[in-house]
Structure 1
Amino acid sequence: MINILMEGLKGSFNSIYSIAKIVIPLMILLQIAKDYKFLDKISKAFEFLTKFFHMSKESTLPLLVGIIFGISYGAGVILQAAKEGNLSKKDTFLISTFLVICHAIVEDTLIFVAVGANGYLLFGIRILAAIIITYILAKRFNFEEYTLDKEPTSIE
């Protein structure tokens, strides 16, 4: 029984160490990119992505942050941009849709590669699925009909 526990603890610590080797440097890079406004510069190069989805150029930075650094940090940037009035409801919806499917693409892929997954396959499928679904929603969904400002109707 003790051997099983020791084996489990050893495996757990090895997994945590493998993940920490990836996550800690990424978090350091994130802080450096934030401090030197590098993310703002990169977002200009990726404005074509938001044009493809018929979103405003202000949605580029929140989308990129979510793709690269994860949904929780991306959500913070999305909420801040929405509070400042830079994002429409359509932009917010499409960014959220894309990020639900494809967030933290660098970090998650590296973590799954560390535990044996095929990184190219994982990366490719997530990006492709996010692009296709977000594009279809951008073209087909009537954003004017659905708003968060309306009071819900009661069922009588």
Structure 2
Amino acid sequence: MIEDLFTSFLSSLSSLFQLALIIFPLLIIIEFLKEYGVIDKIGKFFSPLMKLLKLPQDAILPVSVGFLIGLTYGAGVIITVGKEKGFSTIDLTKILILVGISHALIEETVIFAGVGANAIIVLTVRVLSAIIATIFYTKFISVSYQR
């Protein structure tokens, strides 16, 4: 039993190290993108979506990273930016609903297309489902938490 616990511990430590190898460079790249104004350009593109979902403009970065990279690696950015910008629990929940349904859009769309699915339909359904679910949460569920 102790051997199993030790093996599990080493496996968890290895996984944590692998995540750090991905998340730290990602955060450094994001800082460079901020410095050179790329994040602002992405922000202008996603601005109407943020307004529709009643999310702060600062949510653009974690949403973009989640859309493009996915939940596993995007979570580090979501947590970091959420703490840095002081997102409310409701805003974080909306971000996680949005990204949870439509994470890793490029990677997963390519995988689905590779097994014969129509990439445009897959992409459209995932993005629209995420937006509709987030709007539903914004209009109906989060209102009860604000009272």
Once residues 113 and 86 of structure 1 are traced to their aligned partners in structure 2, the CA distance between those partners, rounded to angstroms, is 38
Alignment of 1:35-114 (within 5 A): 35-37=32-34, 38-114=38-114
Once residues 77 and 144 of structure 2 are traced to their aligned partners in structure 1, the CA distance between those partners, rounded to angstroms, is 24
Q: Normalising by the residue count of structure 1, what TM-score does the alignment of the two structures yield? A: 0.65
| Partner in structure 2 of residue 118 of structure 1 | 118
Count of residue pairs the alignment pairs up: 117
Once residues 59 and 41 of structure 2 are traced to their aligned partners in structure 1, the CA distance between those partners, rounded to angstroms, is 14
Once residues 110 and 63 of structure 1 are traced to their aligned partners in structure 2, the CA distance between those partners, rounded to angstroms, is 20
* Unaligned ranges ≥5, structure 1: 1-29, 147-156
Q: Normalising by the residue count of structure 2, what TM-score does the alignment of the two structures yield? A: 0.69
Cα RMSD (Å): 2.4
* Unaligned ranges ≥5, structure 2: 1-25
Shift of 1:43: 2.1
